[in-house]
Structure 1
Amino acid sequence: MKFLSNRYLILGAILIILAGGLLLLPKYEKQEGIRSKQLLSHAISPERYISTDDISHKIISQDPSFILVDVRDEESYNNYSLPNAINIPLSKLLDEDSLTYLNQDQFDVVFYSNNTFLADQAWMLCDRLGFKNLHVLKGGLNTWYTTIINPTKPNEAMPETEFKLYSTRKAASMYYGVAYPDQNFGNDLPTTPETPKKVVTVEKKKKRKAEGGC
């Protein structure tokens, strides 16, 4: 817990520094100040997180209401990414082409990275800019692997709910290409062999007029 606390304090400090820099950007309206304690409280709020089970269900059911945004570098993205995710490295987050996807009202935006460190930074930057419908994949790809791709089988002492969850996760892992010796799950197995490529079309928001004068 102490490690997590220190980690979020570091994130809060980074956000405060970045927030000061954002005030100098000419393309955005000047933001009203936020007290440090309030900013840190917002930064460590768990409400932005969405579970790997929820995202897996959305992918399998072909839910059109969200965009997955991989904020890792291009090489990591090319090695492995979630189905239909787009790659916007953290260093390019404020590029004009990137903002088309991030500053819009059509979709929920779900950031992810290997853990949550980079994704949290992306969320905080965009949240500070006033963007809406932002989320972070809880635990990132590390948790995705341990819950969806390689779920742990519960022992006999665990409740029935854990076995049902394991069955759902195991069926989901087969959907994503994991092979098992006994591939027989009845109606729990998704019928779609692979996720169709989703084409994300986002309408650009009109640029705000610059304020001030000579």
Structure 2
Amino acid sequence: MTKKQTAKFLNFRYKILALILVVLAGGLVLLPKYQKNEGIKPEQLLANTISLERYISTDQMAHKLISQDPSFILVDVRDENSYNSYTLPNAINIPLKKLLDDESKAYLNQNQFDVVFFSNDHYYADQAWILCNRLGFKNLRVLKGGLNHWFKTIINPPKPTEDMPEEAYSLYDTRKAASMFFGVVYPDQVQSNEVETPKIAPKKIITVKKKKKVAEGGC
């Protein structure tokens, strides 16, 4: 499959996902008013689903990781084997099928950090976002393009051609510096057969305060 065919397939996949999310959210709007639903109102869910503000770019994420921004939690929603094979620094693994477990909710339903979901692309991360958003969880984000786009833009950024504007070269220099931070070695770094070890941010220990359960019933 060529790059153009792959791009068309991914665009088609994302459009289908967007359509599914809108249909699901729209269906909730039509539910009877007397039906009790946990979380936000269907009308608000529909508005949130259409909005693209939930996405955070790979460049923004690289900056947060390099600057050791303590305000967010990275949540890898892929399976455990994929997580153990490769993931982003300091990310925790909550597979999509375990997203609504009580132990997972302690990380997802809290007000201390922003929660950034990611997967190979942002297909499954979007599903995680819609589930948690429906329950009224706050500060939810999605890494746009997921790990696939992370590799294309940060780990292996394409070098601009001569006909590109100066901004493209500036962006490339920034992304190249980021890739070096994350362990990528370029030929011009190698001197006297010695390679400088990149400085990786120390692993962040995340502690989340669990919300107290409110007892139901009366005396």
Deviates more, 1:38-47 or 1:172-181: 38-47
Task: Quote how far apart the aligned CAs of 1:33 are.
Answer: 5.0
Distance in 1, matches of 2:39 and 2:112, equals 24
Q: Aligned residue for 1:117? A: 123
Q: What is the letter of the counterpart of residue 91 of structure 1?
A: K
Cα offset, 1:207, TM superposition: 1.5
Return 5+ residue gaps in structure 1 as ranges: 20-27, 185-190
Q: 1:47 aligns with which of 39, 53, 56?
A: 53
Aligned pairs (5 A) from 1:76-95: 76-95=82-101
Question: Is the alpha carbon distance of 1:5 and 1:48 closer, same or farther for their aligned partners in structure 2, counting shifts above 3 Å?
Answer: same
Task: Specify the SS of the correspondent of 1:114.
Answer: coil
Q: Which amino acid aligns with 1:7?
A: L
1:5 equivalent in structure 2: 15
Once the two structures are superposed, residues 91-149 of structure 1 have per-residue CA deviations (whole angstroms, 9 ceiling, x without a partner) of 00011111110011110100000011110011111111111111000110010000000
The answer for the alignment partner of 2:200 in structure 1 is 194
1:16 to 1:95, Cα distance in 2 relative to 1, 3 A? farther
- Measured in 2, the distance between the counterparts of 1:15 and 1:192 equals 45
TM-score, structure 1 normalization: 0.82
Following superposition, the deviation at residue 208 of structure 1 comes to: 3.4
| Letter of the 1:10 counterpart | I
Contact 1:116–1:138 under 8 Å retained in 2: yes
Tell me the equivalent position of 2:152. Answer: 146
Using the aligned pairs only, state the percent identity: 63
**Could you tell me how far apart the structure 1 residues matched to 2:119 and 2:27 are?**
22
How far 1:159 moved relative to its partner?
A: 1.2
Contact 1:18–1:125 (8 Å) recurs in 2: no
Structure 2: unaligned runs, 5 residues or longer: 1-7, 30-35, 191-196
Structure 1, 137-146 or 153-162: larger mean CA deviation: 153-162
Higher RCO (CA 8 Å, separation ≥ 6 residues): 1
Q: Would the alpha carbon gap of residues 30 and 7 (structure 1) be closer, same or farther in structure 2, given more than 3 Å must change?
A: closer
Is 1:34 matched up with 2:33?
A: no
Q: Say whether the 8 Å CA contact 2:57–2:144 is kept in structure 1.
A: yes
Instruction: Name 2:168's counterpart in structure 1.
Output: 162
Equivalent of 2:183, from 171, 174, 177? 177
Give, as a single letter, the amino acid of the residue that structure 2 aligns with 1:127.
Answer: N
Contact 1:29 1:210 in 2 (8 A): no
CA distance, structure 2, for counterparts of residue 32 and residue 115 of structure 1: 27
Q: 1:43: Cα distance to partner?
A: 1.4
Please tell me whether residue 70 in structure 1 is matched to residue 102 in structure 2: no
How many residue pairs end up in the alignment?
A: 197
Task: Tell me the C-alpha RMSD between the 2 structures.
Answer: 2.7
- Counterpart secondary structure, 2:208: coil
Q: CA deviation at 1:57?
A: 0.6
Once residues 15 and 74 of structure 1 are traced to their aligned partners in structure 2, the CA distance between those partners, rounded to angstroms, is 30
Deviation of 1:14 after TM superposition, in Å, equals 5.5
Shift of 1:11: 3.2
Match of 2:53, SS state, is helix
Q: 1:56 aligns to what?
A: 62
Distance in 2 separating the partners of 1:15 and 1:72:
24
